[in-house]
């Protein structure tokens, strides 16, 4: 069994903010997926912002959820490590990167629906 994300499947990422940034009332969030960290945001493969593409699930615990539909992941390259991060902008306007990693999508076997 694979735990890799599959192109064409919906992607849901659950992330918790560090304690020192809680509560997150009034904060905004941005998620960016790029081929290279040095790419400009305008060249990103995907971006999501709160409150539509990033849901704030709990302001007290700092739980946020990034949601990328399968129709969008279907356009991502498979077998290539991609860079992504989530940034919070606090109610005071201070930016903090709370998550950064690489993600590699795999092509699925079944493509009929």
Residue 85 lies in a domain: yes
Residue 111 lies in a domain: no
The pLDDT score that the predictor gives to residue 1 is 41
Which residues does the chain have with pLDDT short of 50?
1-2
Residue 15 lies in a domain: yes
Instruction: Look up the CATH number of the domain holding residue 42.
Output: 2.60.40
**Number of structural domains in the chain:** 1
Residue 33 lies in a domain: yes
Residue 45 lies in a domain: yes
Q: Which residues of 71-96 are buried (b: 16+ CB within 10 A; e: fewer)?
A: ebbeebeeeeebbbebebeeeeeeee
**Average of per-residue pLDDT values in the chain:** 94
Q: Which range of residues forms the domain containing residue 50? A: 11-104
Q: What is the pLDDT of residues 61-70, one digit of tens each?
A: 999 999 999 9
In Å, how far from its chain's centre is CA 59?
A: 18
Residue 66 lies in a domain: yes
């Amino acid at each position: 069994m694979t735990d890799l994300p599959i192109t064409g499947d919906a992607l849901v990422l659950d992330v918790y903010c560090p304690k020192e940034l809680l509560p997150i009332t009034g904060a905004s969030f941005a998620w960016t997926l790029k081929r290279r960290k040095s790419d400009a945001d305008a060249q990103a493969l995907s971006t999501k912002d709160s409150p539509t593409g990033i849901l704030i699930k709990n302001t007290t615990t700092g739980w946020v959820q990034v949601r990328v539909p399968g129709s969008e992941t279907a356009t991502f390259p498979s077998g290539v490590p991609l860079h992504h991060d989530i940034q919070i902008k606090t109610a005071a306007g201070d930016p903090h990167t709370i998550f950064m990693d690489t993600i590699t999508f795999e092509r699925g076997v079944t493509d009929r629906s």
